[in-house]
């Protein structure tokens, strides 16, 4: 199992990156919460990874923090939730908000995510609620709820900002570009959103 990669960011294009690790290029798919806190190409990056081996492919998924990977691994254990949908969930909602949805049984918020219907939302709440204690025991639940990216930017704030802009009608790509244009280190999500909207309005 490949659990961590440290190397030079050779290429990045939603939804994946190419990581040069001592001359070997690894193609890694990442959620937008990780993608939009990546450094510029040519710089070093660390990704916590999860490898999925299928008959026809070997798929590598990368995350900015261990807690994000813990949540991903818990999601793919839910009946009917594969890796693609799990990445989509992490791209559309912050880990903190997802846990809040589970705790408060907020199916409406989950249904608003791409690919999530009412039955899947209900299944996520039931099965993930049972897994939260296990995540806490491994340091995952608290870590997911308050995680900050290894790359130096608060994952929750960035993810919340992207989700909010998407809710306002921007595409994921455009929302990501707007957020990326903000110097969001140490900023709360509402301030990131404000500055991103200001930048959009000035174009």
HEC string for the chain:
CCCEEEEEEEEEECCEEEEEECCEEEEEECCHHHHCCCCCCCCEEEEEEEEEECCCCEEEEEECCHHHHHHHHHHCCCCCCCHHHHHHHHHHCCHHHHHHHHHCCCHHHHHCCCCCCHHHHHHHHHHHHHHHHHHHHCCHHHHHHCCCCCCCCCHHHHHHHHHHHHHCCCCHHHHHHHHHCCCCCCCCHHHHHHHHHHHHHCC
Residue 126 has pLDDT above 80, yes or no: yes
Please list the residue range(s) of the chain that carry CATH number 1.10.8.10.
155-201
Instruction: Check pLDDT > 90 for residue 47.
Output: yes
pLDDT tens across 105-118, in order?
899 989 988 889 99
User: What rounded mean pLDDT belongs to the chain?
Assistant: 81
The CATH number that domain 66-145 falls under is 1.10.150.20
Whole-number pLDDT of residue 136:
55
Q: Which residue has the tokens 């009412």?
A: 118
Residue 154, pLDDT score: 46
Name 40's Cβ contacts closer than 8 Å, sequence gap at least 6.
9
Query: Residue 6: beta bridge partners?
Result: 46
Decide if pLDDT at 197 tops 70. Answer: yes
- When comparing pLDDT for 38 and 149, which is higher? 38
Q: Pick the closest to residue 170 from 185, 155, 181 (CA basis).
A: 181
Mean pLDDT across the stretch 77-87? 91
Reported as a pLDDT band with limits 50, 70 and 90, residue 134 is low
Select the highest-mean-pLDDT range: 5-9, 62-66, 160-164, 194-198.
Answer: 5-9
Where are the domain boundaries for CATH 1.10.150.20 in the chain? 66-145
Mean pLDDT of 125-153: 57
Superfamily name and number for 4-63: Nucleic acid-binding proteins (2.40.50.140)
Confidence (pLDDT) at 151: 39
Assigned token pair, 15: 């939804």
What is the arithmetic mean of pLDDT over 153-178? 70
User: Where in the chain do CATH 2.40.50.140 domains reside?
Assistant: 4-63
pLDDT value of position 145: 46
Q: Identify the pLDDT of residue 94.
A: 78
Residue 94, token pair as written in the block: 């912050």
Predicted local confidence at residue 169, as pLDDT: 74
- Which CATH class name applies to 155-201? mainly alpha
Q: Is the pTM of this model over 0.75?
A: no
């Amino acid at each position: 199992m490949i659990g961590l990669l440290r190397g030079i960011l050779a290429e990045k294009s939603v939804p994946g990156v190419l990581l040069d690790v001592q001359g070997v290029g690894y193609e890694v798919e990442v959620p937008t919460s990780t993608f939009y806190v990546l450094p510029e190409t040519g710089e070093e990056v660390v990704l916590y990874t999860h490898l999925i081996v299928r008959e026809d492919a070997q798929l590598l998924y990368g995350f900015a923090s261990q807690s994000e990977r813990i949540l991903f691994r818990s999601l793919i254990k839910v009946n009917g939730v594969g890796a693609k949908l799990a990445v989509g969930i992490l791209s559309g909602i912050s880990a903190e908000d997802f846990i809040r949805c589970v705790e408060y049984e907020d199916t409406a918020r989950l249904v608003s995510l791409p690919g999530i219907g009412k039955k899947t939302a209900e299944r996520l709440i039931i099965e993930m609620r049972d897994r939260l204690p296990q995540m806490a025991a491994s340091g995952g639940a608290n870590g997911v709820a308050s995680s900050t990216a290894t790359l130096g930017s608060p994952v929750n704030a960035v993810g919340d900002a992207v989700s909010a802009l998407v809710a306002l009608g921007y595409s994921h790509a455009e929302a990501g570009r707007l957020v990326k244009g903000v110097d969001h280190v140490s900023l709360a999500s509402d301030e990131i959103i404000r500055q991103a909207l200001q930048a959009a309005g000035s174009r």
